[in-house]
């Protein structure tokens, strides 16, 4: 399946593995369509989750800023969203000029641009064939977030590496597109070659 449309499958796969470890065996089979599904109760430390589902837990505001300081924002995250998902895909490498990017899927309403809200936009076709809109500071081009049409209008992918406190506070939650990881990079979290198997 394509990159944009299987992030939720990763979350479900991780939840199933956690349940298996805790209970020994199980026979539950989760079926989910890309974004519109009725998930089981979200565990306390889900790595990826449907951002439209509000689970109980402490909400924390994290401040972010671009390199030049022209753009600033606040991201309000639940505890289970406070983790980096490392993406090693070639698109992320080309857009960032780095070996991977740090990300998290959050509700669009959880991000508030507080300064410099006139962001630039770059659009490309994702693996799904649908548009991916990348939003960045027009001055220094720091990439703030992107919105994948395949995820629907209410979700965005936030660059957690630009959160002032989050960059150090958050731990790696998972790695995706590990098959594209550079040979000298070490595995730091549960890794999937591409997106997790369905």
- How much is the pLDDT for 166? 82
Q: How confident is the model at residue 29 (pLDDT cuts 50, 70, 90)?
A: very low
> Of 17-26, 132-141, 155-164, which range is least confident?
17-26
Digit-coded pLDDT (tens) for 100-121:
999 998 999 999 999 999 999 9
pLDDT digits (tens, 9 = 90+) for 87-101: 998 888 999 999 999
81 three-class SS: helix
Report the percentage of the chain scoring pLDDT > 90.
47
The pair of three-digit structure tokens given for residue 178, joined into one six-digit string: 């590990």
Longest dimension (CA), the chain: 54
The radius of gyration of the chain from alpha carbons, rounded to an integer in Å, stands at 16
Give the pLDDT confidence score for residue 197 in this predicted structure: 53
Q: 5 pLDDT exceeds 80?
A: no
Task: Calculate mean pLDDT across residues 116-129.
Answer: 91
Name the more confident of 31 and 10.
10
Q: For residue 22, give every residue at least 6 positions away whose Cβ sits within 8 Å of its Cβ, in sequence order, or none.
A: none
Q: For residue 188, is pLDDT > 70?
A: yes
Question: What secondary structure does DSSP assign to 98-123, as a single string?
Answer: SS-EEEEEEEGGGEEEEE----EEEE
DSSP 8-state symbol, 149: G
pLDDT of residue 193: 85
Domain locations along the chain: 59-180
- What pTM, to 2 d.p., does this model score? 0.68
- Structurally, at CATH architecture level, domain 59-180 sits in Beta Complex (2.170)
Closest among 104, 123, 86, 100 to 49, alpha carbons compared: 104
Residue 168: count other Cβ atoms within 10 Å of its Cβ: 8
């Amino acid at each position: 399946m394509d990159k944009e449309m299987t992030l939720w499958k990763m979350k479900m796969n991780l939840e199933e593995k956690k349940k298996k470890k805790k209970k020994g065996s199980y026979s539950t089979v989760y079926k989910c369509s890309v974004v519109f599904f009725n998930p089981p109760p979200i565990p306390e430390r889900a790595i990826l989750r449907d951002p439209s589902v509000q689970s109980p837990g402490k909400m924390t505001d994290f401040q972010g800023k671009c390199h030049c300081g022209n753009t600033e924002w606040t991201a309000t995250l639940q505890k289970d969203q406070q983790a980096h998902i490392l993406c090693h895909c070639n698109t992320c490498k080309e857009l960032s000029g780095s070996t991977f990017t740090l990300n998290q899927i959050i509700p669009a309403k959880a991000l508030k641009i507080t300064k410099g809200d006139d962001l630039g936009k770059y659009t490309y076709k994702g693996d799904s064939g649908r548009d991916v809109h990348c939003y960045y500071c027009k001055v220094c081009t720091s990439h703030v977030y992107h919105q994948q049409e395949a995820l629907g209008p209410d979700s965005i992918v936030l660059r957690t590496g630009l959160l002032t406190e989050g960059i150090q506070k958050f731990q790696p939650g998972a790695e995706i597109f590990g098959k594209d990881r550079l040979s000298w990079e070490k595995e730091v979290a549960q890794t999937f070659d591409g997106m997790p198997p369905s």
